[in-house]
Chains A and B, each alone.
Chain A
C-alpha cells in the first residue's frame, strides 16, 4: 500500500512541472483593491454625492461607506482563505461572516434614516429597480474577478467561497451606491439595496461553482 502504484505515477508524470505556491489570502486580496476602490467611488464620480450629505456629515457618508467597503474586502479575504484546502471556516464562523455584514447594513440604514429621513414619494418600484440593478451591476466585476482568484486556489466548497465573495463584492458595491442614493427609507434600502447584495451573494456562489466545475473537467 505504501508504494505508489505505477499507473498513478504514470498519470502524475504526464503533466508534472514545478509550481509556485499560491500567495496567502491577504496578498491575493491586493488584486481586488483597485477594482474595489473604483467601485466605491464610481457612482459618486458618475453622478454626485447624495443630496443630504451635509446632514449626514463625513462620518455618515464616506465614513460609513468606507467601513462597509472594508467589511466587504474582509469577506473577500475570508473567501480566499476558504478556497485553500485545510483552511476552511467552520459553520459558526461562516454564519458570523454572513450575518454580521447584513447587521451592519441594517445599522447604517437605521442611522441614516434617523439622521436624514427621506422617503421615496414617487415611482417607488422604479427607483427600487434602478437601485437594485445599478448596485448589482457595479458589483459584478468584483464578483467575477474574486471568483477567478478563488478558483485559482482549490476551493473544496466553491459555493461557500463564492457566496462569501459575492457578499463581499455586494457590500463594496452598495457602499458606493449609498453615497449617491439619498433615499434613506428603510423599506427601500432593505429591499432594493440589500436585495442587490443578496443577489450578488447568490451570483458569487453560482459563478464560483461553475468555474470550479469547469476547471476540474479541463
Chain B
C-alpha cells in the first residue's frame, strides 16, 4: 500500500492534482483516528484533518519518494495537533459562552432567525470554526488577522469560517423545519 501512496505523492509533486484524491481517501481515515484520539472531539478532529491535508499540500516538496509516506504524513498531523493545542492554550478568549455576546445584525436579517436560535446554534458549532465565524462575521477581523491570532494559514482560517457558516446554516435550517 505504501508503495502505491509513494507513487501517488510523486505524481502529485509532478503535477497530477487528481492523485491527491486517492491519497486523501487512504490517509484521511487514519489521520482522523489519530487526531480524534488526541482531541476527543469529532468536529474538531475533522477540522484538524482538513488542516493536516492543507499542510501536506504546502509541504509536498519535502516528501522524498524513497521513504514511506505514512510517517511523513503522521509527523505533519502531529505537528498540526501540537500547533492547535498551543494556540488553544494561548487563546485570549473562549467563544464557548456566546450568550453574553452582542450580535449586531441588520434589521432585515432579524427576520431570518431569532437571536436566541442563532446563539444556540452557534454554541453547537465546533470551537475552532465558531472562533473563525465570530471573529470574521461579528468582530470584523480579516482572515489574515484571524490566521495570525490562531497561528494558522490564512486559507485554513477561511476554511474554518466557511465550514462554520455552513454548519450554522444547517443547524438553523433544521430549527426552521422543526
Q: Choose from A5, A16, A84, A87 the contact partner of B17 (Cβ within 8 Å).
A: A16
Least Cβ–Cβ distance between A14 and chain B, in angstroms: 8
Asked if B79 and A12 sit within 8 Å, CB to CB, the answer is no
Interface residue A21 (Cβ < 8 Å from any Cβ of B):
yes
Interface residue B97 (Cβ < 8 Å from any Cβ of A):
no
| Residue on B nearest A16 in the bound complex, by CB | B17
Interface residue A122 (Cβ < 8 Å from any Cβ of B):
no
Number of interface residues, chain A, beta carbon within 8 A:
31
Number of interface residues, chain B, beta carbon within 8 A:
46
| Residue on A nearest B166 in the bound complex, by CB | A7
User: Interface majority SS on B: helix, strand, loop or mixed?
Assistant: helix
Query: What residues of chain B lie closer than 8 Å to A216, measured between beta carbons?
Result: 151-153
Interface residue B110 (Cβ < 8 Å from any Cβ of A):
no
Least Cβ–Cβ distance between B82 and chain A, in angstroms: 8
Q: Choose from B13, B58, B64, B74 the contact partner of A84 (Cβ within 8 Å).
A: B64
Cα(A84)–Cα(B75), bound, Å: 9
| Residue on B nearest A4 in the bound complex, by CB | B24
Interface residue B136 (Cβ < 8 Å from any Cβ of A):
no
Interface residue A8 (Cβ < 8 Å from any Cβ of B):
yes
Q: Choose from B15, B79, B162 the contact partner of A17 (Cβ within 8 Å).
A: B15
Asked if B67 and A86 sit within 8 Å, CB to CB, the answer is yes
Q: Choose from B54, B60, B147 the contact partner of A11 (Cβ within 8 Å).
A: B54
Asked if B162 and A4 sit within 8 Å, CB to CB, the answer is no
Interface residue B140 (Cβ < 8 Å from any Cβ of A):
no
Q: Mark A83-96, 1 if CB is under 8 A from B, else 0.
A: 11111100000000
13 A-B contacts (beta carbon < 8 Å): A4-B25, A4-B28, A7-B159, A8-B54, A8-B159, A12-B57, A21-B13, A86-B67, A86-B71, A86-B74, A154-B58, A154-B59, A156-B79
Residues of A at under 8 Å CB distance from B? 1-5, 7-8, 11-14, 16-22, 24, 83-88, 153-154, 156, 213, 216-217
